[in-house]
């Protein structure tokens, strides 16, 4: 492979505003995420504020997460929100059917979730129960959260300690309704979606943003048939859906911490194929909704490795290496480059589950390499994505996962992993370029070439590791962390940035 790779940036060719919601997160009642990842209870010896861990809040606050989806996942379609309000001692003990039949004490419910969102400065997003709930139950939850009036439900919220409405805008109508949410077909779901949606009213100027269940990965037929049914089955009901949310897990290759170089490339190729998911579903949606009034969301995404030895299978606990960080970076760069097609994306999941930002154990909390990618990519949020052309070498066609990658593209083309992939955005005349060197062993010199503008100087920050398996542990929590910023001078509209093998970089500076 050539050791010089080039990204050409065209600051005068805007794509669209990068929706801040692309950097969202997901927290399900699953394994060790909520208990004890967020909630330890007010009587715990673990430092907490009204039951919520202080270390987790302190770690998450600086990321300014735009949105947090809760309470599931599969859990959501078995969750009855009334179980989680009122005095905690009186809340019912339930069974978490989807995740190991674990006891669910309901100590973390609506009020606690809102308190957590406020503590970390994020916007709540609720997933409603369609699979085992009713339109009335979901409509009541909306009213309980959002009504400023004097209805019984608003008064009940006040009696439970919240005088002011919670102002919850984002509401999903079921989760994976094609699977754990009820094994429905798209036409049946379209009918149920409209029925449930009918009873989700706007209260106190809080407009409900209803999110319909989208497809698993490349099941194009779900998107096509749902959109068709919503538009053409007797009534056109398209106005009822504000978004459609697909799921895409790139999965694994090897295990979380043990993999060969070939498996490294295989997993990153599968991660890069999220581009096909974004373009493919949007292309189908455009056939029914050319004005893009229904936005596309990737509601769950990330790696899914075999569960760590010694942990229960149902808890989906996994370590997180520099490879997972590269998966996150590649995905964000895809989202930025397609900022005109995608509105929100929520990685799975926040703490201790799948590709998490944090791992917690007893009174300790560490940041994963993926956490640092969230930090690094912050300047893109709300900026204008501009064209970024990767004139870089193809280094993998997916290997063992070639067919998998091909399937993720509607037109079965375009897939493949480049030596360097990246994206660029502009805010207040400052350019932000992010890129991932996907090669497991080869360092590169990245040439960032500007067209129609110059970048005389840039501040460069890297996320790199001394080994492709590097990760943070409770004994070595800072092994993979961001470098100190370095100032790099540009010349002749070109900036040269060194990228170690398997690394991520951000270059930021004022455009001239
Ligand atoms: O994120 C774990 C699970 O994956 C979610 O509960 C479900 O929606 C998906 O299948």
Terminal C-alpha separation, the chain: 33
Same domain, 374 and 254: yes
Is pTM beyond 0.75 here?
A: yes
pLDDT tens readout for residues 405-417: 999 999 887 788 9
Nearest CA to ligand 1 atom 6: 73
Beta carbon of 348 within 6 Å of any ligand 1 atom: yes
| Residue 457 in tokens | 């100087």
Same domain, 373 and 410: no
Nearest CA to ligand 1 atom 5: 73
**Distance from chain centroid for Cα 43:** 32
Mutate to test the pocket of ligand 1, among 26, 74, 125, 128 (most ligand atoms within 8 A of CB): 74
Helices (DSSP H) in 83-212: which residue ranges? 110-120, 135-146, 152-159, 186-198
Same domain, 286 and 341: yes
Question: Mean pLDDT over all residues of the chain?
Answer: 97
Burial (0-12, 13-18, 19+ Cβ within 10 Å), 234: exposed
Same domain, 96 and 111: yes
Beta carbon of 175 within 6 Å of any ligand 1 atom: yes
Nearest CA to ligand 1 atom 9: 73
What integer is the mean pLDDT of 39-45? Answer: 98
| Residue 54 in tokens | 């202080």
What is the CATH number for 438?
A: 2.60.40.1180
Placement of tokens 């360092």 in the chain: 443
Q: For residues 386 and 14, is the Cβ–Cβ distance under 8 A?
A: yes
pLDDT tens readout for residues 205-223: 999 999 999 999 999 999 9
**How far is Cα 399 from Cα 416, in angstroms, rounded to an integer?**
10
In-domain check, residue 282: yes
- The dihedral over CA atoms of 189, 190, 192, 193, expressed in degrees to the nearest 10, equals 110
Task: Compute, in angstroms, the gap from residue 4 CA to the centroid of ligand 1.
Answer: 40
The domain of 415 spans: 4-9+386-510
**How far is Cα 471 from Cα 455, in angstroms, rounded to an integer?**
34
Same domain, 230 and 116: yes
DSSP 3-state percent helix, strand, coil across the chain (nearest 5): 30, 30, 40
Question: Which letter, b or e, does each residue of 339-358 get, where b requires 16 or more Cβ atoms within 10 Å of its Cβ?
Answer: bebbbbbbbbbbbbbbbbbb
Beta carbon of 73 within 6 Å of any ligand 1 atom: yes
Same domain, 195 and 110: yes
Task: Compute, in angstroms, the gap from residue 267 CA to the centroid of ligand 1.
Answer: 19
Same domain, 373 and 392: no
Task: Compute, in angstroms, the gap from residue 32 CA to the centroid of ligand 1.
Answer: 15
Q: For residues 262 and 323, is the Cβ–Cβ distance under 8 A?
A: no
pLDDT tens readout for residues 53-100: 999 999 999 999 999 999 999 999 999 999 999 999 999 999 999 999
Residue 491 per-residue DSSP state:
B
In-domain check, residue 375: yes
Indicate which atom in ligand 1 lies nearest the CA of residue 175.
8
Nearest CA to ligand 1 atom 7: 73
**How far is Cα 270 from Cα 43, in angstroms, rounded to an integer?**
44
Same domain, 320 and 395: no
Q: How many domains does the chain have?
A: 2
pLDDT (0 to 100) of residue 204? 83
**How far is Cα 290 from Cα 488, in angstroms, rounded to an integer?**
43
In-domain check, residue 164: yes
Boundary (domain end) residue, out of 365, 381, 397: 381
Instruction: Using the predicted structure, report yes or no on whether residue 2 has a pLDDT greater than 90.
Output: no
Task: Compute, in angstroms, the gap from residue 204 CA to the centroid of ligand 1.
Answer: 32
Same domain, 376 and 408: no
Q: Kindly report whether the peptide bond that precedes residue 71 is cis, defined as omega within 30 degrees of 0.
A: yes
- Check 112, 176, 266, 275 and give the catalytic one: 176
Same domain, 202 and 180: yes
Beta carbon of 130 within 6 Å of any ligand 1 atom: no
In-domain check, residue 175: yes
Burial (0-12, 13-18, 19+ Cβ within 10 Å), 496: middle
Q: Is 176 a catalytic residue?
A: yes
pLDDT (0 to 100) of residue 492? 87
Q: Which of 142, 139, 145, 171 is nearest to 158 (CA)?
A: 145
pLDDT (0 to 100) of residue 1? 72
pLDDT tens readout for residues 126-152: 999 999 999 999 999 999 999 999 999
Task: Compute, in angstroms, the gap from residue 300 CA to the centroid of ligand 1.
Answer: 7
Mutate to test the pocket of ligand 1, among 34, 68, 72 (most ligand atoms within 8 A of CB): 72
Beta carbon of 217 within 6 Å of any ligand 1 atom: no
Boundary (domain end) residue, out of 332, 365, 381: 381
Beta carbon of 153 within 6 Å of any ligand 1 atom: no
Task: Compute, in angstroms, the gap from residue 512 CA to the centroid of ligand 1.
Answer: 46
In-domain check, residue 14: no
What is the CATH number for 342?
A: 3.20.20.80
Boundary (domain end) residue, out of 381, 400, 418: 381
Task: Compute, in angstroms, the gap from residue 174 CA to the centroid of ligand 1.
Answer: 12
In-domain check, residue 66: yes
Residues of the chain with pLDDT > 90: what percent? Answer: 98
Residue 34 per-residue DSSP state:
T
pLDDT tens readout for residues 156-176: 999 999 999 999 999 999 999
Same domain, 398 and 324: no
For 45, phi then psi, to 5°, come to: -80, -15
Task: Compute, in angstroms, the gap from residue 10 CA to the centroid of ligand 1.
Answer: 38
**How far is Cα 410 from Cα 424, in angstroms, rounded to an integer?**
25
Sequence-distant (6+) residues with CB within 8 A of 223 are: 214, 215, 244, 246, 281, 284, 285
**How far is Cα 265 from Cα 369, in angstroms, rounded to an integer?**
18
Helix (H) or strand (E) holding 198: helix 186-198
Beta carbon of 27 within 6 Å of any ligand 1 atom: no
Indicate which atom in ligand 1 lies nearest the CA of residue 176.
8
Same domain, 118 and 162: yes
Instruction: Using the predicted structure, report yes or no on whether residue 365 has a pLDDT greater than 90.
Output: yes
Residue 39 per-residue DSSP state:
B
- Check 300, 445, 478, 486 and give the catalytic one: 300
Task: Compute, in angstroms, the gap from residue 73 CA to the centroid of ligand 1.
Answer: 5
Helices (DSSP H) in 296-449: which residue ranges? 322-337, 369-376, 402-407
Q: Are strands 342-348 and 295-303 parallel, antiparallel or unpaired?
A: parallel
pLDDT tens readout for residues 170-196: 999 999 999 999 999 999 999 999 999
In-domain check, residue 187: yes
Indicate which atom in ligand 1 lies nearest the CA of residue 181.
8
Indicate which atom in ligand 1 lies nearest the CA of residue 28.
6
Beta carbon of 74 within 6 Å of any ligand 1 atom: yes
Placement of tokens 């299978």 in the chain: 313
Nearest CA to ligand 1 atom 3: 73
In-domain check, residue 465: yes
């Amino acid at each position: 492979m050539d050791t010089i790779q080039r990204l050409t940036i065209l600051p005068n060719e805007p794509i669209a505003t990068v929706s801040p919601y692309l950097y969202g997160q997901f927290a399900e009642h699953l394994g060790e995420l909520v208990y004890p990842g967020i909630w330890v209870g007010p009587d715990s010896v673990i430092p907490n504020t009204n039951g919520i861990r202080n270390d987790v809040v302190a770690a998450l606050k600086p990321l300014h997460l735009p949105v947090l989806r809760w309470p599931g996942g599969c859990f959501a379609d078995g969750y009855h929100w009334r179980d989680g309000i009122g005095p905690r001692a009186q809340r019912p003990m339930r069974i978490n059917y989807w995740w190991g039949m674990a006891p669910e004490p309901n100590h973390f419910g609506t009020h606690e979730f809102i308190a957590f969102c406020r503590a970390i400065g994020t916007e709540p997003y609720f997933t409603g129960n369609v699979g085992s709930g009713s339109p009335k139950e979901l409509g009541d939850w909306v009213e309980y959260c959002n009504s400023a009036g004097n209805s019984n439900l608003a008064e009940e919220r006040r009696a439970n300690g919240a005088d002011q409405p919670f102002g919850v805008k984002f509401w999903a109508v079921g989760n994976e309704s094609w699977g754990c949410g009820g094994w429905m077909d798209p036409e049946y779901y379209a009918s149920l979606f409209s029925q449930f949606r009918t009873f989700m009213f706007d209260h106190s100027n809080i407009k409900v943003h209803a999110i319909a269940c989208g497809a698993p990965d490349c099941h194009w037929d779900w998107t096509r048939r749902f959109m068709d049914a919503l538009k053409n089955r007797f009534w056109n009901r398209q106005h009822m859906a504000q978004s459609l949310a697909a799921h895409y897990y790139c999965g694994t290759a090897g295990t979380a911490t043990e993999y060969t170089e070939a498996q490294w490339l295989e997993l990153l190729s599968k991660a890069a194929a999220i581009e096909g998911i974004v373009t493919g579903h949007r292309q189908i949606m455009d056939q029914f909704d050319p004005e893009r009034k229904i936005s596309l969301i990737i509601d769950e995404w990330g790696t899914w490795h075999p569960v760590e030895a010694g942990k229960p299978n149902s808890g989906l606990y996994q370590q997180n290496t520099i490879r997972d960080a590269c998966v996150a970076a590649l995905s964000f760069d895809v989202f930025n480059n397609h900022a005109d097609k995608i509105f929100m994306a929520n990685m799975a999941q926040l703490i201790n589950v799948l590709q998490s930002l944090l791992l917690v154990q007893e009174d300790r909390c560490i940041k994963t390499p993926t956490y640092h990618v969230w930090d690094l990519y912050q300047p893109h949020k709300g900026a204008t994505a501009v064209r970024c052309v990767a004139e870089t070498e193809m280094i993998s066609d997916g290997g063992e996962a070639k067919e998998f990658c091909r399937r993720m593209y509607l037109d079965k083309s375009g897939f493949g992993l480049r030596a360097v992939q990246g994206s660029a955005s502009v805010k207040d005349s400052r350019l932000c370029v992010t890129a991932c060197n996907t090669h497991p062993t080869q360092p590169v010199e990245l040439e960032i070439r500007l067209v129609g503008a110059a970048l005389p100087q840039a501040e460069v920050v890297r996320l790199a590791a001394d080994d492709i398996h590097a990760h943070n542990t409770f004994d070595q929590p800072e092994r993979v962390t961001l470098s100190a910023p370095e100032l790099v001078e540009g010349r002749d509209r070109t900036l040269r940035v060194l990228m170690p093998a398997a690394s991520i970089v951000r270059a930021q500076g004022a455009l001239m």
